[in-house]
Structure 1
Amino acid sequence: MLAAVYIDTIFTLTCATIYTWLYFIITVLHQGYCPNSYYPTESDYQATNSSFDIIKYLSYYGTGSNLIAIQLCIDIPRYLCLAYVSIRLPMMVINKIRQYRCNKERYELKHTQEEQAFFIAVQPYSVETLYVRNLFRSANIRSPSRSFIARLVPKSIYEWRDDFRFSSRIFCIYAALFLVLFVITIKLIVEELPNLPYWQIMIERLTDFIYVNSIDSQANAPQNQISSTSSVSTVKVPFFIAVFTALIITVVQIVVLLTSIRRHLLQIFRGNYTEIPKRNNLKNLLYATGNLHFAGFFIGYAVWGYILCFILAFFISYFFGKLIENNEKLFQQILTESIPVSLLSIFKVYLNLFVAKYIFLQQRNQILAINNHRVSMILLYFNFFLDAFLGLAASFTRITNSFLTTIIYMARLDYSPLGRQLDYGDAGFLAYLGFIQMEAIHRNPIMLAFVSILLVHQRTKQSNRSSKIRQKWRLALLLIHNPSLIIMRKAILARKEGNLAFLHMMKTSEFEHLTNINFENALKAILRREYVVHKHISLNNSDTIVSRL
């Protein structure tokens, strides 16, 4: 199907449509036999000896149609994709036939998909044209979006812009990622709900091992009795809290990454490199490889972040639930040990703020200059010993914050936990950087608008001979006024020996210090030689034609 869409002919699109319809029908018929991935067949049962799985699912879900409904829910993404492809391909065939019948001359030109994109870019309300039109306009003067979605979403959450659109690659990656998160969430809930009693046993053993040194034996004996007879709801509630917390955090992070992609692309279009490092030609290979890895790294990082957020949220919710429910003495002990340290740290912070504002800084924080230098030196001396112990506690806070931030921001490839100086050691950030640099180079709206104008002008005038002559004279005039463009022409770059000699002459200081008259005569001689070699003009009237320039 992908090859048929890329070839983009009536025959290939028709074959792809027939294949998609047949595959969709076979899939529906196969699903009509009610296959189930959770109840094995007789052959699978004898091969894998999966009696334990059968007993587990039968005891929890029963013998009804619960698992069949769950199986249908898991197959929803596949049916949605097949339905979209089954409708989209016939529409492409119809549009191709209509284009061939209504505008046969345009079809005979055999425009490629890239050229068709350039023809769309030159339209008055295309994204590239609107961007160029709003290039020197502020956000207040810029016309509001005409999209219906822009009216529904508040600007404080997301500002919809008509002069920007994401590439099709972004839409495909995000569609695949959302489908993966949907399937993982459903499978996690369905397959792990029957295993929650075993989760509870393992967690209770772990908590008993941890609490044995913090609780005395008299308080620990009834606690073990309570834990052994507690219901599975003590694990089920944290399980669902962890699943939906991880899903919400992951979805929010990938949506925020989408807004970051737009912001970073617009910044690079304007030449702003405050957030993204400036492109370095020595790292082009690094950008190219990062661009290749972006899609896979993005989905892998997002899935791994989802799993880590689930584990972290589950243990936090289970821990606090057990503390509030059963371990009152342990909860009181934790509060007794943590509250004094927290209060001392808060008092120290506010004391430093008060002293710095009203004693040390001049004009109460208006000027960054020390007012009482000797008093500040005395306070620094006595403050050193207390800050040494507070710094030890703050170091653990830094480690905890780094750990939690890395887990929460795992799906954000634009965020590197290593910092700006070490961000090149992060493979995810390198993949994002390569993707942004490649997108900025190949999807710059100013470049696309300019090239589309040139392409349309060339294709509309290519059948007229007088227009070809006029175009060549305009080219000659352009090269005279912009001599640096001569060495970038295809004909000159293709020549080997003459190209090297010409480049050497252009780089010599003697050629650069010529007077205007000598410089113009030298350029005319170069143009005369090039046009005679390529048979654009004859050798007899070359002097007359070039002299008119």
Structure 2
Amino acid sequence: MASIAELLGNYLDFPVNTTFTYTVTLEACPRIFPHQEFRLFLLIPAAISTLVLAFSTRRTNKILHVLNGRPGLISPMDILKTSHRFSYAAAFGTLARLCSDIVFDSKYAFNYFGPTYLKVFIALVSMLIYGLGYFPLFAGITTGSPLGYLVATLFSWVFTAEFFSNTFCKQQLDISYLVLIVGVLPEMLCFLYLSFSLPVRFVISLAKPKRKTKLAVDFESSEDLYESIRKSYQGIHVTKLFQTPPPPPSPPEGIKEKLTHLLTSISEKIFYKRTKGFRYSARMISVMAVGFILLYQVTFFLFIVFYQIFDYAEKGLSASLDIIGRQITTEEDPAVTNLRTGIYVSYYFIIAFRGCFFTSIMVAFAINAVFLLHYLTSYRENLLSLYKGDNKHLTPRTEKSNASLIVGSMRYAGYQVGYIGWGFFIQFLLLLIFSVAIATVVTLWGILDNFILEQIMRLWPVLLTSLVLNMVQLLLSKFLFLQENGEILAMDNRRLFFIFTYFMFFYNIFIGIFSCLMRIIKSIILGALFLPRLDHSTLPRKFQQMDPGFDAYCGFMHVESTHTNPVAMVFISILQAESLTSLKRKKSNNSDIIPLDEKQEMLDRKRRKAKWKWLLAYTLVNNPEISLQRRLVLAKERNENVKEIFFSHSTLYSEEPTKVDMDQIIILEERL
């Protein structure tokens, strides 16, 4: 390729005869598993495995009595539970590279050269192909049977082989394998975790005895069953609701304790604060894993690629300076002097831009990594608040239909990954523009110093005056215009307040112009900063439903809260325990031996039944009208004559029924 010196010489219309050349070669070996061919051929074993797993399960509602309810409907993931959450997170982590290709490269499952307006349908078909290819891996984990773990193991090994062969074969960059391993380390750990954990689970599932039904649970007594409910996460949460909250911890004493407490509180505010006993859902852990791996790999790729580009440019400019000469010589052609000056400016600009680029990308990665931790904290706080019925941070359920909440829950995971990717990219661009502006000012300070100082001299009186007047307004409001030094909202010195407000009206118009500019700048900065976070809307409160990301998050949180509420889960578990206890009692009635705890429970049940009958009799004796209505309802259920019962009942009070009695019979018959 042509030398950089020759290119600059041609640009400056100056012939530079040099023999220096700097070439960049990217050697790549062919991929063992081509992307498109691999995805298409994977559909055949994926379809077969899905059918096999479907025939291994039965339908709950046997509408068609064929093959004893087979094939059943299998799901790839139970998004409302916390079981297998690390396996799901690792499985979704293996999709990070595919998600990166979809978000930034719009990679399809097959080539398309037709009309542009049909590309959206090609994208939909590609997403369907991707989903079908990975479906057996997730379905096998969800099934939890030996066959399911076997299918998941085989597919995880295939995906692992494809990952290692394509990653370590297609080495387009001049980097070592150690650096390449560091770049794909999180995704590689996900593949290795699945490749080793799924076979172990397959062997363990073979050793476990097969459970026929959910009711076939062995327990020594009903107390053991209730104890398992108390020790569960939901049981512990419900138990805490009936306990008095612990007193706040005593303040730290001593310099060492105060310093430790200060550092702990700062780290909890900046990074993450743990809540003991809380369990995140499998879906949330999976989304956060995909988001982190996506950020990690994109950051690493940009860092390596642009590091080599900047290195090539710096070496090329340095070599050009060595050829031309770094010092001005006597009787030198002015064109050579201009060329040297241009190369020096380009050289220093490349160095400055490299520092800005790497600083921006690392700061953007750090911000988004910390935001992922904050996201987990926000999810936990919002979910616990929804358990208590407090939804002040989210859109209330009364303002949205149930169908829209379900749609938001379906959209959430995909929206979150897409927002994380594009939010990182936009934050990086803004940081790069800001850092390049600062670097330009510093580099060209000798040229721009007079202009910048002139603008500072114009603006500093305005800034200082605004700051002073704002402080004056605050101090006067607190100590002069309010009673008791601002402790209560009651005016004092009303006439002076009116005079001061009148004159400040004109000045605040002038300040409002700059305040409007600051509002725009703050909106841009905060909007870009919180763009990846769906738990905060970038729109005002009344327009939050127009924010598709926040709307999806609200639907996800409301569905999550409704179906995972610990109080409801514990109540359902108690009902199941009662059902199991009744089943155990029926079995024990066939034998002569009845456990002591079940005897006590039977006696308690008889006492409650006798007490209820006594209260019913007492109520009916004191309320004859209720007794009549109850007898009529029971008679109606037994298809007896309502009039005969009414007449027999009315003879207790009169010899023969009156017109009023006949009207009551008609009304009662209409009601019944």
Whether TM exceeds 0.5 here: the answer is yes
Distance 1:277 1:528, change over 3 A: farther
Kindly indicate whether the alpha-carbon contact (under 8 Å) linking 2:383 and 2:557 is maintained by their aligned counterparts in 1: yes
Kindly indicate whether the alpha-carbon contact (under 8 Å) linking 2:412 and 2:552 is maintained by their aligned counterparts in 1: yes
Q: Which amino acid aligns with 1:265?
A: L
Aligned counterpart, 1:185: 299
Kindly indicate whether the alpha-carbon contact (under 8 Å) linking 2:229 and 2:570 is maintained by their aligned counterparts in 1: no
Q: Secondary structure at the match of 2:307?
A: helix
Kindly indicate whether the alpha-carbon contact (under 8 Å) linking 1:173 and 1:295 is maintained by their aligned counterparts in 2: yes
Kindly indicate whether the alpha-carbon contact (under 8 Å) linking 1:254 and 1:411 is maintained by their aligned counterparts in 2: no
Distance 1:405 1:253, change over 3 A: same
Alignment partner of 1:3 is 2:3: no
Aligned counterpart, 1:534: none
Q: Which amino acid aligns with 2:360?
A: A
Alignment partner of 1:243 is 2:394: no
Aligned counterpart, 1:360: 481
1:430-509 equivalence runs, <5 A: 430-462=551-583, 465=586
Aligned counterpart, 2:256: none
Aligned counterpart, 1:307: 425
1:528-539 equivalence runs, <5 A: none
Distance 1:237 1:8 in 2: 51
Query: RMSD of the TM alignment (CA)?
Result: 3.8
Aligned counterpart, 2:191: 82
Aligned counterpart, 1:73: 182
Aligned counterpart, 2:202: 93
Q: C-alpha displacement at 1:299, in angstroms?
A: 1.3
Distance 1:276 1:519 in 2: 48
Q: C-alpha displacement at 1:386, in angstroms?
A: 0.8
Distance 1:447 1:136 in 2: 15
Q: 1:258 aligns with which of 376, 388, 393?
A: 376
Q: What do the CA deviations read for 1:215-249 (whole angstroms, capped 9, x no partner)?
A: xxxxxxx9989744525211111111101110111
Alignment partner of 1:131 is 2:131: no
Q: C-alpha displacement at 1:370, in angstroms?
A: 2.2
Distance 1:163 1:323, change over 3 A: same
Q: Which amino acid aligns with 2:169?
A: P
Kindly indicate whether the alpha-carbon contact (under 8 Å) linking 1:10 and 1:93 is maintained by their aligned counterparts in 2: yes
Q: What do the CA deviations read for 1:298-337 (whole angstroms, capped 9, x no partner)?
A: 1111222211111111121221222233222333234223
Q: Which amino acid aligns with 2:294?
A: V
Q: Secondary structure at the match of 2:533?
A: coil
Distance 1:236 1:365 in 2: 53
Distance 2:248 2:492 in 1: 49
Q: Which amino acid aligns with 1:35?
A: C
Aligned counterpart, 2:169: 35
Aligned counterpart, 1:412: 533
Percent identity reads 24
Distance 1:239 1:120, change over 3 A: farther
1:157-176 equivalence runs, <5 A: 157=268, 158-176=272-290
Distance 1:518 1:278 in 2: 47
Q: Which amino acid aligns with 2:416?
A: F
Distance 1:26 1:447 in 2: 45
Alignment partner of 1:109 is 2:206: no
Q: What do the CA deviations read for 1:438-474 (whole angstroms, capped 9, x no partner)?
A: 0100100111111112223323543654789999x98
Q: C-alpha displacement at 1:387, in angstroms?
A: 0.7
Distance 2:298 2:292 in 1: 10
Q: 1:386 aligns with which of 492, 497, 507?
A: 507
Kindly indicate whether the alpha-carbon contact (under 8 Å) linking 1:36 and 1:71 is maintained by their aligned counterparts in 2: no
Kindly indicate whether the alpha-carbon contact (under 8 Å) linking 1:293 and 1:431 is maintained by their aligned counterparts in 2: yes
Distance 2:625 2:567 in 1: 35
Q: C-alpha displacement at 1:22, in angstroms?
A: 5.4
Distance 2:292 2:145 in 1: 31
Q: What do the CA deviations read for 1:268-318 (whole angstroms, capped 9, x no partner)?
A: 111223323332275212111111111111111122221111111112122
Aligned counterpart, 1:268: 386
Q: Which amino acid aligns with 1:6?
A: T
Kindly indicate whether the alpha-carbon contact (under 8 Å) linking 1:462 and 1:468 is maintained by their aligned counterparts in 2: no
Distance 1:262 1:467, change over 3 A: farther
Distance 1:330 1:411 in 2: 38
Kindly indicate whether the alpha-carbon contact (under 8 Å) linking 2:408 and 2:556 is maintained by their aligned counterparts in 1: yes
Structure 2: segments with no counterpart, 5+ residues = 1-136, 217-224, 250-260, 315-339, 591-600, 613-622, 640-672
Alignment partner of 1:20 is 2:156: yes
Distance 1:368 1:18, change over 3 A: closer
Q: Which amino acid aligns with 2:147?
A: F
TM-score, normalisation: structure 1: 0.69
Distance 1:294 1:127 in 2: 25
Q: What do the CA deviations read for 1:475-508 (whole angstroms, capped 9, x no partner)?
A: 9x99x98xxxxxxxxxxxxxxxxxxxxxxxxxxx
Kindly indicate whether the alpha-carbon contact (under 8 Å) linking 1:14 and 1:93 is maintained by their aligned counterparts in 2: yes
Aligned counterpart, 2:348: 230
Distance 1:515 1:418, change over 3 A: farther
Distance 1:407 1:468 in 2: 69
Q: Which amino acid aligns with 1:2?
A: F
Q: C-alpha displacement at 1:343, in angstroms?
A: 0.4
Larger Rg: 2
Distance 1:27 1:326, change over 3 A: closer
Q: Secondary structure at the match of 2:230?
A: coil
Aligned counterpart, 1:291: 409
Q: Secondary structure at the match of 2:169?
A: coil
Q: 1:351 aligns with which of 472, 475, 478?
A: 472
Distance 2:149 2:526 in 1: 48
Q: C-alpha displacement at 1:189, in angstroms?
A: 1.2
Kindly indicate whether the alpha-carbon contact (under 8 Å) linking 2:535 and 2:550 is maintained by their aligned counterparts in 1: yes
Distance 1:382 1:85, change over 3 A: same
Q: What do the CA deviations read for 1:65-113 (whole angstroms, capped 9, x no partner)?
A: x25444433332332111111122123223322321xxx5xx122579x
Q: 1:517 aligns with which of 614, 627, 632?
A: 627
Q: Secondary structure at the match of 1:108?
A: coil
Range 17-26 or range 269-278, more displaced: 17-26
Kindly indicate whether the alpha-carbon contact (under 8 Å) linking 2:233 and 2:277 is maintained by their aligned counterparts in 1: yes
Q: C-alpha displacement at 1:357, in angstroms?
A: 2.5
Kindly indicate whether the alpha-carbon contact (under 8 Å) linking 2:226 and 2:577 is maintained by their aligned counterparts in 1: no
Aligned counterpart, 1:43: none
Aligned counterpart, 2:100: none
Distance 1:260 1:438 in 2: 16
Kindly indicate whether the alpha-carbon contact (under 8 Å) linking 2:313 and 2:350 is maintained by their aligned counterparts in 1: no
Kindly indicate whether the alpha-carbon contact (under 8 Å) linking 2:273 and 2:377 is maintained by their aligned counterparts in 1: no
Q: Secondary structure at the match of 2:486?
A: coil
Range 165-174 or range 355-364, more displaced: 355-364
How many pairs align?
Answer: 428
Distance 1:294 1:526 in 2: 53
